[in-house]
Structure 1
Amino acid sequence: MKKIITLCISALLLLTTAVNANTNNINQATALIDNAMTKSLNIINDPALTTEVKREQLWPIVTGHFDFTLISELTLGKFSAGATSPLGDYSDRRFTPEQQAKFTDAFTIHLGNLYLDRLNNDSKFSVLLTKSSAMKPIRNMQRARVNSLINKKTAIDYSLRLKDDGWRIYDVKVEGRSLISSFRKEYSALLLKNTPDELLALLNDKNLAHTDNNAE
């Protein structure tokens, strides 16, 4: 009986430690989003800054808090360099590591442009963090979700993973619609008709056109 009691106490202590660690992880994830949002809102809502200056100041925040390597891998899905799913007649559509590295760079710019283009709207932005929770680990990846409400009406949820002792955002859901799922569907359809190099060219052309349009 004494041995059983000792085992029960040990199990309880281990469970308590796990719960505390999990809570701390969630708190850290929430703090990261809160910090990123505070910095972003200070820039976005500053009437003294031009759109160009806002973009320049926001870019390091975006690249510093998002895990674009994982975002790119999940976006490419079965076509990513590390995927093992058979592609059949489309086996030439799987990215090589070199092609995927180029895709990550181009896709990072594309996503950043989409986010920063929202600054063209002069409306004031406000953010309320509503709920944070742990997510089921995938491939031993510690995950968390932080829910927010933009301007008291638009729900935006951030999915994060713990990487190198720091949290990084790898997906964003706006009103329940996943950024990764949306792009994966779009790019999967494109890769049924185009090779990886052709998709890279399309993406680079889009980024170049964006640069040219903003230079006018």
Structure 2
Amino acid sequence: MLSNLLRLWVFALLVGFVEGAAGQSQDMSTPDGMVRTVTQDVLDRIKGDKEIQSGNLVRITELVNEKILPYIDFNRTTRLVMGRYWNSATPKQREEITAQFKLLLIRTYSGALAQVRDQEVTYQPFRASPADTDVVVRSTIINNGSPVELDYRLYKTPQGWRVYDINILGAWLVQVYKQQFADLIAQQGIDGLLTFLTQRNQQLANGG
């Protein structure tokens, strides 16, 4: 269940990032402009790299690390997903869980890329006050004729806007995985969660 939800989320995230801003140049200082600009940058990279198009994990990892992860605050995401268990984890456990959760996302990209075809993305009018520091950018993916809601939650940092949560089909990533992580921790402890994530990443690395 955990891996299936993550695959769906990553597919939506990838489609939103690579299909949503063709032909547009946006201001990175605004949250909607940042999302649109990153999408165009990633799309240009994919179009010019046949290794990425074929699902080469090394090249995909390079792309994600260079073009996408700088605009996602995975530490914040993992902290929110862990909830009250974050304070119970040691600094080393926090670091390792964050790294494994991020790796799970990256390794899922290889499968998601193969599914990107002719999806269309539209953005809803962005509404926020200039003083807002936590906002939502709303979009819709048309996939095989069916609309899929895809929203990004961002917050303002000294370095600019960063994505830390995403909504697909009415389910926010943090809410979904907070329960999943809590169930695993309740059954197996924090080390059990780390073992699960590590083993799942190993399965993906081996083509599982």
TM-score (norm 1): 0.71
- Judged with a 3 Å threshold, the aligned counterparts in structure 2 of structure 1 residues 124 and 161 are, in CA distance, closer, same or farther, namely same
Q: Deviations over 1:54-97 (max 9, x none)?
A: 5542442221111000000000011112xxxxxxxxxxxx2122
Q: Which amino acid aligns with 1:167?
A: W
Give the % identical residues: 21
Which is higher, the Rg of structure 1 or of structure 2? 1
Q: Distance in 2 between matches of 1:39 and 1:26?
A: 12
Instruction: Classify the secondary structure of the residue corresponding to 1:80.
Output: helix
- Report the counterpart of residue 70 of structure 2 in structure 1: 64
Work out whether 1:78 is the aligned partner of 2:69. no
Can you give the 5+ residue segments of structure 2 that lack an aligned partner in the other structure? 1-26
Deviation of the 1:166 alpha carbon = 0.6
Cα offset, 1:125, TM superposition: 3.4
What residue number does 1:145 align with? 136
Give a deviation string over 1:3-34, Cα, whole Å, max 9, x none: xxxxxxxxxxxxxxxxxxxxxx9971111100
- State yes or no: 1:37 paired with 2:39: yes
Deviation of 1:195 (Å): 1.5
In the alignment, the residues of structure 1 paired with residue 92 and residue 32 of structure 2 have an alpha-carbon distance, to the nearest angstrom, of 34
Q: 1:133 & 1:200 partners in 2: Cα distance?
A: 39
Residue matched to 1:213: 207
Contact 1:126/1:151, CA 8 A, preserved across alignment? yes
How far does residue 174 in structure 1 lie from its aligned partner after superposition?
Answer: 0.6
* Deviation string, structure 1 residues 94-141 (Cα, Å, up to 9, x no partner): 212221111111111112233453112152233222232339x9xxx9
**TM score, norm. by length of structure 2:** 0.73
Q: 1:162 to 1:36 in 2, by over 3 A?
A: same
1:200 is matched with: 194
Note the alpha carbon deviations across 1:167-188, whole angstroms, 9 max, x for none: 1000000121111111111110
Change (3 A) 1:45 1:147: farther
Q: CA deviation at 1:162?
A: 0.7
Matching of residue 50 in structure 1 with residue 54 in structure 2:
yes
**Runs (4+) off by over 6 Å:** none
Distance 2:28 2:127 in 1: 6
SS in 1 for 2:133: strand
Q: Distance in 1 between matches of 2:204 and 2:176?
A: 21
Where does the alignment leave 5 or more consecutive residues of structure 1 unmatched? 1-24, 82-93
Q: How does 1:88-99 map to 2 (within 5 A)?
A: 94-99=88-93
Cα RMSD after superposing both structures? 2.7
User: Residues 7-46 of structure 1 correspond to what in structure 2 (within 5 A)?
Assistant: 28-44=30-46
User: Partner of 2:173 in structure 1?
Assistant: 179
Native 8 Å contact 1:44 1:54 kept in 2: no
Corresponding residue to 1:134 among 107, 122, 128? 128
Amino acid at match of 1:72: T
Q: Matches of 1:45 and 1:174 in 2, distance apart?
A: 25
